[in-house]
Amino acid sequence: EFPTQSFQIKIALSKKQLGNDAYQHEWSEEEEGGGHGKSKALKLYGSGSELMIQLIKEIRDKNSKTNDNDIEEEKPLRILLDCLNNISAVHYRAKDYGKAKEAATAVLLWDVNNQRALCRGAKSAMFDPAGSFEESEMAIEAAEQLNPHDSEVQSLRVLLNKKKRQHKQREKAMYGKMAKGIKSKTDPNDVKIKSTTIEIKDEKQTELNPNEITKDLKDVETKSSKEIYDFRLPLLIQS
C-alpha cells in the first residue's frame, strides 16, 4: 500500500506511459495479435487502472480527507479513463473487437459521456461478429448528442449506414439464391412416374418368345454334351 495519493498517481502515470511505449514501439505486426507488445501494454494499462480504482475508492470513502487535500478525485479518474480507453485501443488494434467493446463499456461505467469510449465502442460493435447494428446505433446517437459536428462521429455515422446497406444487399442476394434453388427442385411425383415407366420398359424388354426358349435349351444341351466329351477324351488317351 502506497503512503500518499500523489505517489500512487505518479506510479499510475508511469505505468500508463510505459504502456504507451509498448503499444507504439514493441507491437509486433508479424505475430498474431501483436505479440509481446500487446501483452505488455495490456498488463501495464491494467495495473495503472487498478491503482486508480483503489485510490478513487479511498477518496470517496474518506470524503477526500487525506494527507494530500489538494488532490481531488478528478485527476485519478482521468488517469483511470485513459488506461481503460487504451486497453480498448489495444484490443481493437489486435482485431479482438469483442474485448475492445467490453473495455469501452468499462469506461462508460465511470464516465457515461466519454466520447472516445462511445466512438470506439460503436466501431467495435460494427466489426464484432457477436455485435449488432443496434449497439453501434446507440453509441453513435449518444456521441452525436455530445458533439454532432465532430469529424469522427460523422465518419462513424457514414460507416454504419454503409454497413447497413451492405448487410441488406447480402440478405437480398441470399434470399434470391434460396428462392431460385427451391424453384429448380424436381417434383417428387415426376420422379415416381419416370421410375415406373423405366421399370415397365425393362419388363417389356425381358419378355421372350417360347420358341426361342426351347431353342436356347437345345443349344445348352448340345454344348453340355460336347463339354463332357472333351473332358473325357484325355482320360481315354491316358488309359
Show Cβ contacts of residue 2 under 8 Å, excluding neighbours closer than 6 positions: 8, 11
Whether residues 70 and 131 share a domain: the answer is yes
pLDDT at 236 over 60: no
Instruction: Report which listed range, 4-13, 165-174, 218-227, is most confident.
Output: 4-13
Which residue has cell 499510475? 12
Show Cβ contacts of residue 60 under 8 Å, excluding neighbours closer than 6 positions: 73
DSSP output for 74-133: HHHHHHHHHHHHHHHHHHHHTT-HHHHHHHHHHHHHH-TT-HHHHHHHHHHHHH-TT--H
Whether residues 39 and 79 share a domain: the answer is yes
> How deeply is 124 buried, as exposed, middle or buried, from its count of CB atoms within 10 A (0-12, 13-18, 19+)?
buried
User: What are the distances in angstroms from CA 146 to CA 53, 103, 138?
Assistant: 26, 20, 13
Is residue 68 a contact partner of residue 5, using CB atoms and an 8 Å limit? yes
Q: For 109-139, write each residue's pLDDT tens digit.
A: 999 999 999 999 999 999 999 988 999 999 9
Ranges 28-32, 113-117, 121-125, 155-159: which has the least confidence: 28-32
pLDDT at 161 over 60: yes
Look up residue 180 and give its amino acid.
K
Whether residues 209 and 153 share a domain: the answer is no
Domain of 228 in residue numbering reads as: 189-238
Q: Tell me, what's the pLDDT at 220?
A: 44
Whether residues 100 and 218 share a domain: the answer is no
Per-residue pLDDT band for 194 (boundaries 50, 70, 90) equals very low
Whether residues 48 and 136 share a domain: the answer is yes
Whether residues 218 and 160 share a domain: the answer is no
Q: Tell me, what's the pLDDT at 209?
A: 52
pTM over the 0.95 mark = no
